Amino acid sequence: MTTPLQKLTASSARGPASVFPSRRAPECAATSARSTPTTTYCVSSGPFTPRHQHELPEGHDHQRSLKRFNVCEDCPVFDGLYEFCQTYAGASVGAAVKLNKGTYDIAINWSGGLHHAKKCEASGFCYVNDIVLAILELLKKHERVLYIDIDIHHGDGVEEAFYTTDRVMTVSFHKFGDYFPGTGHIRDIGYARGKHYAVNVPLDDGIDDESYHSLFKPIIAKVMEVFQPGAVVLQCGADSLSGDRLGCFNLSVKGHAECVRYVRSFNVPLLMLGGGGYTIRNVARCWCYETGVALGIELDNKVPEHEYSGYFGPDYNIHVAPSNMENKNSQHSLNDIRVQVLENLSQLQHVPSVQFQERPPDTEFPEADEDEEDLDERNDPGYYMEMDDSNHADTTCKSLDHIQDEKANMDVEPELMGQGSPKKVNEIVKGVEAITVAMPSSSKVFGENSVIADEQSSRKGQQEEMNRIYGEKL
């Protein structure tokens, strides 16, 4: 079964592109850069279904564990959750591997971009932060990686992960105020070695193409000048488009895509990811057009006839006119934001260097299996309901039994605790523990107390190998 986005893109974009099926991320890939609490979180969200959840009595330890990791409310358990996380995270990591090998200049994973997930919890319907995993993969080859976020929501999970390093710069353009997740103040600029390497551009309702570009282009130009990244990750959340059901910006598809075009013009290896977007037909329009932009192709405005054409009526165009909503971003406020952000960037050390260190091995994905299930079959809503849950029940219970015995004790450097805002430091300590691989001043990736539930002998061997590679503090 083909989704409207897949069909529209396949019908419209003709160019020198290759399409690769996503390989599910092996469990060690999702936990290789993480410590005990996150390992437990990943394992606890494994083969666990709504049926398991409903069978648990109220107040059961496992129910409390799900709440501890925020797997509830806006991050619910659903059938196929674990495979879903493996698939979109595997696609982002796999795309980063392709870029690292130099075989492609641009890689796209529209199913990725789940930027709210934290080290130890799900958030905002984001369960595993594929962006962080992809950046960690890119850092194996590139000294510096730039992350740009044009989703209407602040990219809090990615910023938090790299808040204390100068090897990753995060730049987020987002709605700020009484709006989820409530973070991303212009004064949040990073900490310790990462000071000034977190850039936040807070915006108000109704911002249009012209106002948005008046900030985006000069800021990104300055970032590229002073940071000179080896690779760029661009999160293209489409909820910043006009008419989004949850958004409140007024960008057109062309205005949104102009950001992609501008970043592409720097000719730096580029990983494009999806993100938010709640008016589905406009999400399909946007990402289809931006696929064309990535390929250097200007698509026809008319949507080709296909089985989902009805979603794009009555005009059947890719481009939709923005609304007449009020732009609450005054020219004065935009100028103030631009001046302050550029002033912060001017304080950066140009092209920060990286210490010599052992290069971690590339992530390896298993070769395609001829007997692997058909990807279209997985799109059948009844597919996961037909799975034999009995094979997972015992493993699930064993995995979850470890949760109650573990405490999220973070290994924080003394100098970190002695500086800056205690509130901000506590947030960073809770969520980060410098999870980046092979970064100066990072904490242990696998500590003495690391535990992986259900340690079968093969998995234990993988763990020992990862400890050997990443275990020492740099």
Give the torsion sign (CA, 290, 294, 298, 304): negative
Torsion over CA of 151, 156, 158 and 164, rounded to 10 degrees?
140
Contact criterion met (CB below 8 Å) for 193 and 165:
yes
Q: Is the separation of the CB atoms in 60 and 66 below 8 Å?
A: no
As annotated, the active-site residues are 116
270-273/231-235 β-pairing: parallel
The position carrying tokens 């100098």 is 415
Give the separation between CA 23 and CA 324, rounded to whole angstroms. 43
Q: Which of 176, 177, 168 is nearest to 151 (CA)?
A: 176
Q: What does the DSSP 8-state code read for residue 97?
A: H
Give the 3-state secondary structure percentages of the chain, helix then strand then coil, rounded to 5.
40, 10, 50
Of 242, 5, 17, 45, the closest CA to residue 108 belongs to 17
- State the pairing for strand pair 145-149/198-203: unpaired
Q: Residue 119 pairs with which residues in a beta bridge?
A: none
Q: Which residue has the tokens 């995995």?
A: 399
